[in-house]
Structure formats: C-alpha cells, structure tokens
C-alpha cells in the first residue's frame, strides 16, 4: 500500500541536513550553555550563532530573538507577559484585538486573560474567505487598545491575512497617539504557517512580536521562538535561572536551536525572487502547482464540494475543502486505509467533535463544516501522489455519501 503524507501543516519530517547539523550536540558538543568551561561555552556559541541566523532571516537584531519550546509557548509569553508589563506600568485594563479564526493558542490565552479580568478582548469577524477587513480593525481600536494579534496564514484554510496593511494602519495610529503623548499599540503575528513560504521581515510587516515553531518547517518538535522588538515591554512567564535575556528560564535545548537555525539558513541561502506576497518563488513554485492541481481535480471530480479559504490569496501548501453529505472523520479514516494522511481542521483540534471555529466564523454552516478536510503539501510531495489522491478521494466521498442516512 502507498504511504502519502499530506498533513505537513500539522508537522513535517526533519530535514536531513538538520539531522546532520544537530547530531554532534547530543554526543560531542553536549555542554550546558550556562557553564563557563569550554563545553558550556561551545554550546553558548552555537546558541548565539543560531540566534544571529534567525535574526538575519527575520530582519531583526539577535537580541530580539527568544527561544522557546514551541509557538504555543511563544504566544503565551507574548500575550500574558505583555499584558502584565503594561498593567504594571499604567495601572489600566488593557484592550486586545484579535480575530475569531486564530489558532487556539491565541484564543485560549485571550480567554484566560479575560477570565482573570486583566484584559478586555475584541474578536474580529472575517469574510467568507477568512480574511480580516482593515476597516473592522480600525473601528475596533479604542483608547486603551494595547495589542493587535492577527495570524499571518490561517492554519486550517491557508488564507493569507493582510499583515503588512495592518502594520501600516497601526503605524499611522501610533503616530497620532505619540503626538498626543499616549502609549502606542503593539502588533503580534503568529507566523507558524508562513515562515517557510512568505516574507517574514519584521520591519516590512510592521510587527513587534512574531511567533513561530520549528516542526512546521522541517526542524524538530520542541523548539520555537518569539521575536520581541527592542524596547517592547514584556514580563517573563517562566521563572528560574534567567536564561534567554531573563525572559524564558530553563536550560536551552541546544541541538534543536541549532536545528531550527539550520532550516532557516538553508532557506536564506537559496536564491529566490519574491512575488507580491513575498513568496519565495523558487522554493514554492512546485508545491503551488501541485496544490492547484489538487484543488482543480477535487472540484471537478467531486460534486457538492466547497473550497475553503481564499481562492488565490492563500499559502502554497494548504488545500482545504468541505464535502457536503460526508463526515470529515469518516473521510479521514477511509483516506488512512488507502495510505493517505490528511487532517480535519488543525492538528490541535482534530480530536474534537465540534465543527471548526474557523469555518463557522467564515459563515459555513455547522453541518457542512463537519465535512472539512485539509490537505497540506510539503517538500517531498510528488505529482504521482496527487494523482493517487485524485483517484481515491472521489470514490471515498461517493461511498460515504451513499451510506449516510437519508433525511
């Protein structure tokens, strides 16, 4: 039986060059970076070189990169640490603006802050494609707004949000606020699904925080990062030995830090022209072509199918659909029996029987959202694999629909 992995938005295989780079830090260069001896200093040098590589990729300064265990931790540090810092400085209840389609790491963190009564949160709606409207954001800004948090690429449907335009809006608003001696608004984006495909230069985007995790782009699980613009107030959420500029205590995961930097170094070193979205054309052209072939084939071969997300303003690697009259969980099981890995919604919520919060926010009825499937392509996806999916999927949907009880 064939084995076809189309769940790269959930996690990716570690790049062979990354494995080669990290192995010495398990057995030969294994020192604790907090120690002054040569083993410790060798580890410290590896961390700082990795920090420099990632900063270079993001157009940032090395001291603005904080290593964490994953994007979820980065988001918790950003939102909770920033709110705590602002409250202690100003003695006000901060206002956060985010969207209804964010990753659960953002939504649950915001709900937690609301429950504690330390922040007020506005959740912006989106249109039928999952796009945030700049006008809605502009109207939501209040005198006590301190943070805007909008993801770069939606992890379920692949829609690319207008991050640069949001950054430009916040910059204009801040110019007025500073003139009136009022505190500025800060801007966070979750770049987890964007970092390997889109331009993540923090100055071009206009962001003050940018979170990411390695296992979505061929680094190991268990390593992530948070960009924090210099001068941005932030209080640590993990106490201990004061590592990571005293913002994230704990012995550093040196092998994985080296690994995440290696992936981004490989990306930097590949010559690539960029299109209007900042996509790295040479590294994504093939994946985009295969994604488009999959979308075209599914829509042509399977009636009563909805493509979710924006038809053109979308990340190269995600193709997501709703199949009327077919349950997503049943589709996944049948695909798996044919050797095909896909997902129903995001990896963090695929075990839930609730319909996707993203699809509901896009106006898709709950009964239709239950039939959602996400295919996410990667560097090893082939045309033959897409052909195989297009051969098997129509039969699977047809049989499931035929077995469904008639109302």
Instruction: Answer with the residue of higher pLDDT: 271 or 42.
Output: 42
The pTM (predicted TM-score) of the whole model is 0.93
Per-residue pLDDT tens digits for 242-292: 999 989 999 999 999 999 999 998 876 554 444 433 444 556 889 999 999
| Domain 4-12+275-403 listed as CATH 3.40.1350.10 | no
Per-residue pLDDT tens digits for 127-182: 999 999 999 999 999 999 999 999 999 999 999 999 999 999 999 999 998 888 88
Q: Which fold has domain 16-269?
A: 3.40.640
Instruction: Count the alpha carbons within 13 Å of 272 in the hemisphere toward its beta carbon.
Output: 19
For the chain, the structural domain boundaries read 4-12+275-403, 16-269
293 φ/ψ angles, rounded to the nearest 5 degrees: -65, -40
Name the pLDDT band for 60 (thresholds 50, 70, 90): very high
Instruction: Answer with the residue of higher pLDDT: 101 or 354.
Output: 101
Q: CA-CA distances (angstroms) from residue 259 to 40, 224, 379?
A: 18, 11, 17
Sheet holding 120-124, edge to edge: 65-68, 224-228, 209-213, 186-190, 145-149, 95-99, 120-124
Catalytic residue list contains 348 = yes
Same topology between domain 4-12+275-403 and domain 16-269: no
In sequence order, what are the beta bridge partners of 319? Answer: 375
Per-residue pLDDT tens digits for 297-320: 999 999 999 999 999 999 999 999
Radius of gyration of the chain (CA): 22
Instruction: Answer with the residue of higher pLDDT: 90 or 52.
Output: 52
Looking at residue 5, its pLDDT comes to 98
Local structure of 96: helix, strand or coil: strand
Q: CA-CA distances (angstroms) from residue 317 to 9, 136, 184, 378?
A: 8, 28, 35, 7
Share of the chain above pLDDT 70, in %: 92
Q: How many other C-beta atoms are found inside a 10 Å radius of the C-beta of residue 224?
A: 25
Taking residues 331-348, what's their average pLDDT?
87
Name the pLDDT band for 346 (thresholds 50, 70, 90): very low
Catalytic residue among 78, 110, 200, 348: 348
Per-residue pLDDT tens digits for 88-130: 766 678 999 999 999 999 999 999 999 999 999 999 999 999 9
Looking at residue 180, its pLDDT comes to 84
3-state helix/strand/coil string of 252-271: CCHHHHHHHHHHHHHHHHCC
């Amino acid at each position: 039986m064939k084995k076809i992995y189309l769940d790269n938005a959930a996690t990716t295989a570690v790049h062979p060059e990354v494995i080669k780079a990290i192995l010495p830090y398990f057995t030969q260069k294994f020192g604790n970076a907090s120690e002054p001896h040569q083993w410790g200093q060798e580890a410290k040098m590896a961390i700082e070189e990795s920090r420099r590589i990632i900063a270079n990729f993001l157009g940032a300064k090395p001291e603005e990169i904080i290593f964490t265990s994953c994007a979820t931790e980065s988001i918790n540090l950003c939102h909770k640490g920033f709110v705590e810092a602002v409250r202690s400085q100003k003695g006000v209840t901060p206002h956060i603006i985010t969207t209804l389609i964010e990753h659960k790491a953002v939504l649950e963190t915001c709900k937690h802050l609301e429950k504690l009564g330390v922040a007020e949160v506005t959740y912006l709606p989106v249109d039928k494609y999952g796009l945030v409207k700049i006008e809605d954001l502009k109207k939501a800004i209040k005198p006590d707004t301190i943070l805007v948090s909008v993801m770069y690429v939606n992890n379920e449907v692949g829609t690319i949000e207008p991050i640069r335009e949001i950054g430009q809006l916040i910059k204009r608003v801040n110019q007025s606020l500073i003139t009136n001696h009022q505190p500025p608004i800060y801007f966070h984006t979750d770049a987890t699904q964007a970092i390997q495909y889109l331009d993540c230069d923090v100055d071009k985007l206009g962001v003050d925080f940018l979170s990411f995790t390695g296992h979505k782009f061929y680094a190991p699980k268990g390593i992530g990062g948070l960009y924090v613009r210099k001068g941005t107030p932030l209080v640590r959420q993990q106490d201990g030995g004061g590592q990571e500029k005293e913002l994230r205590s704990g012995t550093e995961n040196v092998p994985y830090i080296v690994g995440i930097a290696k992936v981004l170094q490989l990306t930097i070193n590949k010559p690539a022209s960029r299109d209007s979205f900042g996509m790295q054309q040479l590294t994504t052209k093939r994946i985009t072509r295969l994604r488009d072939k999959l979308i075209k084939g599914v829509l042509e071969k399977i009636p009563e199918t909805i493509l979710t997300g924006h038809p053109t303003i979308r990340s190269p690697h995600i193709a997501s659909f709703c199949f009327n009259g077919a349950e997503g969980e049943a589709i996944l099981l049948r695909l798996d029996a044919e050797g095909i890995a896909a997902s129903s919604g995001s990896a963090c919520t695929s075990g839930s029987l609730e319909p996707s919060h993203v699809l509901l926010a896009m106006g898709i009825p709950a009964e239709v959202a239950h039939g959602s499937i996400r295919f996410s392509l990667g560097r090893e996806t082939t045309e033959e694999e897409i052909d195989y999916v297009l051969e098997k999927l129509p039969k699977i949907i047809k049989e499931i629909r035929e077995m469904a009880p008639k109302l």
